[in-house]
Amino acid sequence: MLYDAVEADEEASPEAFHAAYFEELATVVAELGADTVVGGTGLDRATVEAIEAGDHPELTVEEASEVLSLAEGAPDADDIAWEARDHVLMGMTTAVVDVDTVARETDLDLDAKEIQQAIEGRLPTTLEQFAAIQAYVNARR
């Protein structure tokens, strides 16, 4: 799922996390087919076909979780999103990193309050933003 798209002991850039997320998504689309994914999510056909083609359309954590939840034996979408966020929060605790530091040290156009809201799921967060946050936190563990 999103939280383990990149191995924990592997240092990875935000771009590597972002690419790994889309590899997971493309695998689900390839296994189930575009019709099933379109029918099981709120995504339009063009977005699903872009994922299938290896492109990286803008998706939120919630949208990606919807796709991943369609895989056989996968948790539901809310659980996938919360698990990913929980791993970031736990990583911040382990690394002793606060949201002010994440906001200051990443290239996101988000302030500390918005970073906190993104991690808590109160602010729609793109996979690109989440990848930057996750990569920053993982690099400091």
* Tens digit of each residue's pLDDT (9 = 90 or more) over 6-25: 765 566 899 999 999 999 99
CB under 8 Å to 40, separation ≥6 — which residues?
A: 32, 66, 70
Alpha-carbon 18 to chain mean position: 7
What average pLDDT does the chain have?
94
Is the pLDDT reported for residue 36 higher than 60?
yes
The structure's pTM equals 0.93
Is the pLDDT reported for residue 2 higher than 80?
no
> For residues 22 and 100, what is the distance between their CA atoms, to the nearest angstrom?
28
Is the pLDDT reported for residue 69 higher than 60?
yes
Give which of 71, 73, 80, 72 is closest to 127, Cα–Cα.
80
Quick: pLDDT tens for 80-125: 999 999 999 999 999 999 999 999 999 999 999 999 999 999 999 9
Cβ proximity of 41 and 67 under 8 Å: yes
Domain ranges across the chain: 7-141
Burial 84-121 (b: 16+ CB within 10 A, else e): bbebbeebbeeeebebebbbeebebebeeebbbbbbee
| Cα dihedral across residues 45, 48, 49, 50: positive or negative | positive
